Structure 1
Amino acid sequence: MSDQQGTQTPPSSEPAAGEHATGAAELFDYDAELRLYNERFRAAARVGSHDRVLDIGCGTGQTTREAARAAVAGSALGVDVSAPMLERARQLSDEQALPNVSYQLADAQVHPFPLTHFDLCISRFGTMFFADPVAAFTNIGRALRPAARLVLLVWQDRDRNEWASAIRQSLTAATAAPIPPAPGRDAFSLADPGSTEDILTAAGFTDVTFTDVHEPVYYGPDTVTAFDNVLRLLKFQDLLADLDAATAEQARTRLRATLAAHDTGNGVYFDSRAWIITAHRH
């Protein structure tokens, strides 16, 4: 990590998802993890005051609420497949008295959105897991008016994301062989600009552009907190699931050491890279 990354101020985001006491207490706090990315993403989204915004994979709704605040004469709809996250999103929206925001429990690949209704579709790391990406973006496109904008934030390749490679290596005790992105089923499935542009073009989008974003991701103010946070992520829990007790404890010890090595004194950060993708509905 660079010195610049090591001096970042720890996030002061909306209340952590983990604070929710009605069934969502174990939710990972993606808003804190992605704070620096979110600032770049919000600027790229350029939500207009009259926009009707569709937010795909909204999680606990930070990006949806920010869109709603900008669209003072418009609206924002957040869509996700996680009921606990949407429960938290609704609670926060009620607390913040946002009348123009709503949420829908739905799979964006097949949900019957109102046709040609939205002016802007945004997604912060919420579009990489579609079973059929072309079908999903085609369905989303039907919900957008002609010339509406699409603004996505997606991860670049795994080997450009230290949070994925270093943590995975610590839990598996060996340098993992490169894992090619699996379209529709992988956090890195939209990492390749060529194939992703092909997907969006096939789904009816034009003017596809990619902007490189290089920011650290945050896992907590100290090593102990970061350890608990990382193990809330199912993809890392799964790496421990099939290990015997002794081997699993060795993996946890290596994980603690990896996190300690990334403790800057101002928080535990890992290097990462993403794309901001923009396009227009044909």
Structure 2
Amino acid sequence: MRVDPSNERMLKAWDGDDGALWAKRAQRFNDGVAAYRDTFFAAAGIRPTDNVLDVGCGAGQTTRDAARFAGRGSALGVDLSGEMLALARRLAGEEGVPNVSFAQVDAQIHPFAEARFDVVISRHGSMFFGTPLAAFSNLARATRPGGRLVLLTWQPLRLNEWITTFRTIFAAGREVPSSDLALSDPAEIERLLVSAGYSEVRCTAVDKPMYFGQDVDDAAEFIVEQHGGRLSDLDGATRAAAVAALRADLAEHQTDRGVFYGSAAWLVEARRP
């Protein structure tokens, strides 16, 4: 697969260990952000005959959902992870979704057919482009005139309890990374998308609880599996103390429905003139 040089690091991660973990834990990752689903698809407004592109589709839950809305149209999911895409194809077959397909491509440079898609969506998958302007320009070219772009991206870290908490715990006394994720500033998002060829850009703040497990044991196993590598260079006692701190914090977030943390996203909407 050919990728832009600026995305080679992402290819190594997502077509490697990160992608393998996300494929293994696909249902948990979907459950984690399930509270955003209805708001996301209401904004997408997918019609029965639409052709939809899902960028950074992972294991394809949003692609399959989009295909069901576009029952007489189609949905194409693209991602860098071969393992997640293999799972996406298997699940589409098991669930009987015939109008969906998947491709392992770099959406930043892939030659999509011009004006092919009525709707382009991405649920937290558009934040990883090495060169965002080139990527969204390519997506705008593939969006038909009047077509829509709908994204979910994370708001700044200070508004995302789950990120700040886990970053602090797994720093284990070391400096806590403070940089925000890409596409967290609505003014920057608007400038980027307008420069790329979209118009009518709107960013709406959406706050939802994020699910991490049915109880402390379940959530701790999942979170340590995802983030525990950050402790690998520490001594055993320090690692154990970090895990104990995690479990204590999880206990404070235990509800009768499971373990939840606060999260905050931008619902980004734009249109191709």
TM range (shorter): 0.7 to 0.9
The runs of at least 4 aligned residues of structure 1 exceeding 4 Å deviation read 174-178
Q: Distance in 2 between matches of 1:192 and 1:223?
A: 33
Q: Distance in 1 between matches of 2:24 and 2:53?
A: 27
Larger % of helix: which?
2
Corresponding residue number in structure 1 for 2:121: 122
- When residues 269 and 80 of structure 1 are mapped into structure 2, their CA distance, relative to the original with a 3 A threshold, is same
Counterpart amino acid of residue 264 in structure 2? R
Q: Distance in 1 between matches of 2:142 and 2:264?
A: 30
User: What is the CA deviation profile of residues 194-238 of structure 1, one whole-angstrom value per residue up to 9, with x for unaligned ones?
Assistant: 1111111111110000111110100011011101111232xx234
Corresponding residue number in structure 1 for 2:228: 237
Superposition TM-score, scaled by structure 2 size: 0.88
Counterpart amino acid of residue 141 in structure 2? R
Corresponding residue number in structure 2 for 1:267: 258
Q: How big is the shift at 1:24?
A: 4.2
Is it true that 1:255 corresponds to 2:250 in the alignment? no
- When residues 217 and 163 of structure 1 are mapped into structure 2, their CA distance, relative to the original with a 3 A threshold, is same
Secondary structure of 1:141 counterpart:
helix
| RMSD, aligned α-carbons | 1.9
Corresponding residue number in structure 2 for 1:146: 145
Q: Is the 8 A contact 1:152 1:278 kept in 2?
A: yes
Unaligned regions of 5+ residues in structure 2, if any? 1-21
Q: Is the 8 A contact 2:171 2:230 kept in 1?
A: yes
Which residue, 264, 271, 276 being the options, matches 2:267? Answer: 276
Counterpart amino acid of residue 49 in structure 1? P
User: What is the CA deviation profile of residues 171-201 of structure 1, one whole-angstrom value per residue up to 9, with x for unaligned ones?
Assistant: 22349657233xxxxxx21110111111111
Unaligned regions of 5+ residues in structure 1, if any? 1-22, 182-187
Corresponding residue number in structure 2 for 1:135: 134
Q: Distance in 1 between matches of 2:64 and 2:26?
A: 19
Aligned pair count reads 253
- When residues 29 and 107 of structure 1 are mapped into structure 2, their CA distance, relative to the original with a 3 A threshold, is farther
Corresponding residue number in structure 2 for 1:12: none
Counterpart amino acid of residue 191 in structure 2? D
Corresponding residue number in structure 2 for 1:17: none
Q: Is the 8 A contact 2:198 2:270 kept in 1?
A: yes
Q: How big is the shift at 1:30?
A: 1.5
Corresponding residue number in structure 2 for 1:61: 60
